[in-house]
Structure 1
Amino acid sequence: MIHPLHERYADLLVAYCMDVQPGENVLLNLESPAMALARPLVRAVLARGGVPHLRVSYPELTEDLLACAPEAFFTAEPTLELAEIRHTHAWLRVAAPTNSRALQSADKTKLGKLQTRNRPVQNLRLKTKWCGTLFPTASGAQDAGMSLDDFERFVYDAMFLFDDDPTARWLELREQQAALIERLSRADEVRIIGDGTDLRLRVGGRRWVNSDGRRNMPSGEVFTGPLESSAEGTVTFNVPSTLRGVEVRGVRLQFREGRVVHATAEKGEDLLKAQLGTDEGARYLGELGIGTNSRIQRPIKSILFDEKIGGTVHLALGQAYEETGGTNASAIHWDMICDLRQGGAIYLDGELFQENGVFK
């Protein structure tokens, strides 16, 4: 029997997030703990006339690739994956972590090589109707400091699944974010002020994107790609992040003419340095985002949720999104978060835009 909430979740992903149309090939990538969603997702795709293709991975897959794959694997072209993504119209990934620290001791250099190998597939995936989401697991609940029941309620509430009409709520948020974008689109310089942070970026001529749940579920952010050579100053990320299962805390980056010239971290500095060394583009910013989801009030060590916290900004090292007009190219795209709700501010061309997490 299909759980009614899982059915509602699948319908939101298929009908709203990916807007599956008749005849479209839909690639459904599930981590095995999320198998409860497999049947409702397949049925939802079929109901809209799409063609579902289910792919299931096990939790230790990346660990095994890093530990067991020969060097030739990391340098070989991913021909099969490329062929598949070229025939894919909509792409979904359902993460369901069982151990968020699984890669804590992994070879960081090999991790970078794996990302480089997957980059051509990633670039093509971004041209599909893609969406990433999270299925609540006991591991995720533990990282969030919640019971599994509380964590499930938190996750589904952030997606508006308990509302009478989740799609209507996402459309409402879209309108609210459109008003923010109207103001942001008139700005040339964005200045971010906070504890250990004073960073200036230029965004004139770039497009701001309304992230309203169609690419991430949950969502709630507006973002753009800053001019590649514009970042000047220092930023301290006061929300811990986890990359490929490795926790990184207290990252501090100094920029000059857009490039990271100095980087430190209280925890995970070896990963930080390895990621910055992935390629030249890894030292430049590919994204500036502003979180707006009021249902998410605290970090849970999942970037999908944490970067959407209302009153935060996030910056991503590496690959820019083509739709913003950004041109930075890299095998990585690593979002890191700065919470501005206590003593932080955003200025647009010298005019106060947000203070202590509240828009003016």
Structure 2
Amino acid sequence: MDERIVEHAAVLVEWSARIEAGDDVVLAVAPGAHDLAVAVAAELGDRGANPVVTYTSGEINRAYLRAHDDEFDENPAHEHALYENADAVLSLGGGRNASAMADVPGQTRSTHATAREKVREAYMNTDWVSTVHPTRSLAQQAGMSYEAYREFVYDAVLRDWEALAEEMSGLKERLDAGREVRIVGEGTDVTMAIENRTAVNSTASVADDSHNLPSGEVFTAPYGTEGHATFDVPMTVRGKRVQDVRLTFEDGEVIDYDGPAVIGEILDTDDGARRLGELGIGMNRGIDRPTDSILFDEKMAGTVHLALGRAYDACLPDGEAGNESAVHVDLITDMSDDSRLEIDGETVQRDGAFRWEAGFEE
């Protein structure tokens, strides 16, 4: 076995999920993630954890959703109980076909997501972490050779996370103290309030309320959004290729959009889908190109992403629910050229370089 797979598993179990002896763990394994699952199982056994292994794939989900009549049972008790009784969920992605769900109707997906809100809440209340094992289908989706894609994945995952966490803490402090963020770039001039929010220093560890490996972003929960934003980084949303989506905001809500029909489907999911749940700023310089995978692309240094839908509780004051929705869909804009990010009028990032980095120009 490639030693990097073993290292990936160790980072996931020890640094990211902080698994301890006696923890009850759901290990969700995609078809192409077998080798990583073996390495993770060894790590779990070494720590005396109690895994339950599930198998998940786009093909299975497609078959079920296309055959169903769209009248889904709310909160299926057996699935809810699985997550409600788990300490952690480790999701190992790596399917055979990245577009397996492309022909599932958007309305079916939305109805299914809404019916499973309590299941999703139980899942989110665990120490969950998502990662992927490099597969040929993901390499193809990224437009890379398999060999090059493996190098890319491990460059992003096997980092000095403590050092990166220290670097990102400076941006977190600025966001925590700030009242307003403004993003300006080609086709974008949007402002949003962030006062009384707590930014998450997303260090790929549940200790910092960070749940993705790789990570490398700082995010918060904005509100009161005004203006317009264009998302030019190409990506696949619900099996549909999207790029250059433009959203127009007024009083915190999307009032108009320009883009494919799938964006409209997402916006129509529920009231919260028309509001932002997240402002995220990518800082992982091990991710140096878009790969059509949100797990990587939203952390790419020199990008900013805004998410329609659900806000994360970690960003909110005690007792405040924040934006609630059955969806959380990220859209990404490139900040590497002719752009700036301001916090309370101070330019913190210009043309992809942060104020504290070499190459920043006032």
TM-score range relative to shorter protein: over 0.9
Work out whether residues 25 and 52 of structure 2, in 8 Å CA contact, stay in contact via their aligned partners in 1. yes
Amino acid of the structure 1 residue aligned with 2:197: R
What amino acid is the match of 2:34?
M
Distance 2:57 2:347 in 1: 47
Q: Is 1:116 aligned with 2:107?
A: no
* TM-aligned CA deviation for residue 338 of structure 1: 0.7
Match of 2:275 in 1: 284
* Aligned residue in 2 for 1:316: 307
Deviation at 1:139, TM superposition (A): 1.3
Indicate the larger mover: 287-296 or 52-61. Answer: 52-61
1:184 corresponds to which letter in structure 2?
L
User: Does 1:49 find its partner at 2:48?
Assistant: yes
Provide the C-alpha distance between the structure 2 equivalents of 1:302 and 1:108, rounded to a whole number of angstroms.
19
2:261 maps to amino acid: D
Report how many residues are paired.
Answer: 346
In structure 1, C-alpha distance between the alignment counterparts of 2:139 and 2:240, rounded to whole Å: 17
2:257 to 263, 268, 274: 263
Range 105-114 or range 189-198, more displaced:
105-114
Aligned to 2:18: 19
3-state SS of paired residue (1:182): helix
Written as runs of structure 1 = structure 2, the 5 A alignment for 1:1-360 is 2-72=1-71, 74-160=72-158, 166=159, 169-214=160-205, 215-227=211-223, 230-265=224-259, 269-325=260-316, 327-360=322-355
**Paired residue secondary structure (2:100):** coil
Which AA in structure 2 matches 1:14? Answer: V
Q: Supply the AA of the counterpart residue of 2:233.
A: V
Q: Are the aligned partners of 1:101 and 1:247 in contact in 2 as well (CA < 8 Å)?
A: no
Mean CA deviation greater in 203-212 or 115-124: 115-124
TM-score (norm 2): 0.93
Whether the 8 Å CA contact 2:304–2:334 is kept in 1: the answer is yes
Report how far residue 294 of structure 1 moved. 0.7
Q: Is the 8 A contact 1:159 1:218 kept in 2?
A: yes
> Structure 1 vs Structure 2: percent identity of aligned residues?
38
* CA–CA distance in structure 2, aligned partners of residues 123 and 263 of structure 1: 29
CA contact (8 A) 1:282 1:319 kept: yes
C-alpha deviation, 1:263, in angstroms: 1.1
Q: Aligned partners of 2:123, 2:59: CA distance in 1, in Å?
A: 23
- For residues 90 and 171 of structure 1, what CA distance do their matches in structure 2 show? 22
Alpha-carbon separation, structure 2, partners of 1:77 and 1:58: 21
Residue 18 of structure 1: how far off its partner (Å): 0.3
Q: Distance in 2 between matches of 1:243 and 1:233?
A: 23
Letter in 2 for 1:348: I
Give distance in 1, aligned partners of 2:135 and 2:213: 16
Please provide the CA RMSD for this pair. Answer: 1.3
Following superposition, the deviation at residue 4 of structure 1 comes to 2.3
Runs of 4+ residues over 4 Å off in structure 1: none
Matched residues in 2 for 1:257 and 1:26: separation? Answer: 42
8 Å Cα contact 1:100/1:246 also seen in 2: no
Q: Which amino acid aligns with 1:188?
A: R
Once the two structures are superposed, residues 75-116 of structure 1 have per-residue CA deviations (whole angstroms, 9 ceiling, x without a partner) of: 433211101111010111111132222233321100111211
Q: Distance in 2 between matches of 1:4 and 1:295?
A: 19
Superposed displacement of residue 241, structure 1: 2.1
CA shift, 1:245, in A, is 2.6
Q: Which amino acid aligns with 1:176?
A: E
CA–CA separation in structure 1 for the residues paired with 2:56 and 2:346: 48
| Residue in 1 that maps onto 2:358 | none
CA contact (8 A) 1:286 1:320 kept: yes
Q: 2: CA distance between counterparts of 1:18 and 1:6?
A: 16
**Partner Cα separation in structure 1 for residue 131 and residue 93 of structure 2:** 6
Counterpart code for 2:324: A
C-alpha distance in structure 1 between counterparts of 2:62 and 2:12, whole Å: 28
Partner SS state of residue 301, structure 1: coil
Unpaired runs of at least 5, structure 2: 206-210, 356-362
Deviations 1:215-246 (A, max 9, x none): 1111100000012xx10000000012222332
Give the SS at the match of 2:116: helix
